[in-house]
Amino acid sequence: MKCNIDLRKANGTGGISNYIRNIASNLIDSDECQFEGCTFFYKNRNSSNYNWFLNNIHYSFFPEKYAFSRYKIPFSYELLMNSKADLNVFFTYDLPSVKFKSPIVSTIHDIILLKTSCESTAIIDEHKRILERTVKLSDYILTVSEASKKDLIGYFGISDDKIAIVHNGINQSLFGKNYSNAEYQIVIDKYDLPQKFILNLGRYRKHKNIERLILAYASFPKSFRQEVKLVLSESNTGINQLIQKHSLDKDVKIIGFVDEKDKPIVFKLASLTYYASLYEGFGVPIIESQAAGTPVLTSNTSSLPEAAGGAALLVNPYDEKNIAQAVEQYFGDEKVRESLKIKGKKNAELYTWDHSVKEFYVFLNSVKL
């Protein structure tokens, strides 16, 4: 079997780019399967951008911006890439507006926009249009959790045998590493981190549920807030107004974008990681925090209990009182903290990129051409 691996978005930032890069970079040719990368033309494209991909790459001269527009292109993907294959694999949900001669494998990580209604109607409608087209065109669909698979089947009416799970992984060597005191101090100084804090790391999006975290934190007495600070990596006007409304200026710290190389240490320095989203397709920060040895407070909905693996505090994400109770329980019970650390590390060990690639190989072996 020969597979075309679409490398669009592989060199970006964020969860999907990380997923594409870490799986694609670990694909190894065998007698049973050969892999070739494919990329459309875009500004500043350079072959050196793809040095991490071990196999041959087809560099199409057709512009990416036209390939992914709403206008149908009267050429086949295989022709544009000059690469005839038995299977065209996309580790993302966005397929080019071209024809396909060979079967398609797409990847739908989640349906956050369709389940939470946290964006405008126009954005949701466009996202739904893209997903419906992807489902219609795809012969097989990959996703990242049992919960996400169940949601896709329920929402789009997809048959069970059309969907396979290839989980996310993390770089265990980085998050499980023992760093020196000097390395810790560099990160502390760089982000001006407090001694003891609850951490929420990542871009602000409405479904991340930061507002309820702030409301829960505001309910604690001043003595607690003086001891345990709240650290966010991103904010907006609404968050800033909420902080000011509850007089939390001295207790909530916005540290801005955190470099990937610094993330493991930031997680390790935190007392507790907050990740009580309204909905997620998986929940990579849960695994990263657990691997770093910091327990997690997360939601009892969507894929989050699955990712947590029975090793996190679970809350109703719509109830700030429940969130506050869980925080109070955590900081008030040392046995709970130590138990979650041990269980969390054990759960995180299950999620390696090697394991993800093995799941992908198992899927390929099940494909019927």
For residues 81 and 148, state if they share a domain.
Answer: yes
CA 309, CA 343: separation in Å to the nearest integer?
8
Per-residue pLDDT, 118 = 82
For residues 12 and 154, state if they share a domain.
Answer: yes
For residues 221 and 143, state if they share a domain.
Answer: no
Does 14 have pLDDT greater than 90? no
For residues 179 and 106, state if they share a domain.
Answer: no
Per-residue pLDDT, 369 = 83
For residues 195 and 149, state if they share a domain.
Answer: no
For residues 154 and 235, state if they share a domain.
Answer: no
Total of domains in the chain: 2
Does 32 have pLDDT greater than 90? no
Which percentage of the chain shows pLDDT scores above 90? 91
For residues 107 and 233, state if they share a domain.
Answer: no
Q: What pTM does this model have? A: 0.94
For residues 162 and 176, state if they share a domain.
Answer: no
Give me the amino acid identity at 233: S
pLDDT digits (tens, 9 = 90+) for 185-238: 999 999 999 999 999 998 888 999 999 999 999 999 999 999 999 999 999 999
| ∠ Cα 203 131 88 (to 5°) | 100
For residues 163 and 236, state if they share a domain.
Answer: no
3-state helix, strand, coil in the chain (%, to 5): 45, 15, 40
C-alpha dihedral sign at 103, 109, 112, 115? positive
For residues 101 and 118, state if they share a domain.
Answer: yes
For residues 128 and 226, state if they share a domain.
Answer: no
User: Quick one: pLDDT band at residue 125, thresholds 50, 70, 90?
Assistant: very high
For residues 124 and 83, state if they share a domain.
Answer: yes
- Domain encompassing residue 152: 2-169+353-366
Q: What is the CATH number of the domain that holds 101?
A: 3.40.50.2000
DSSP per-residue string spanning 141-167: EEES-HHHHHHHHHHH---GGGEEE--
User: Quick one: pLDDT band at residue 91, thresholds 50, 70, 90?
Assistant: very high
The answer to whether residues 201 and 230 touch, using CB atoms and an 8 Å cutoff, is no
CA 298, CA 212: separation in Å to the nearest integer?
12
Mean pLDDT of 284-290: 98
Joined together, the tokens standing for residue 254 give 């916005």
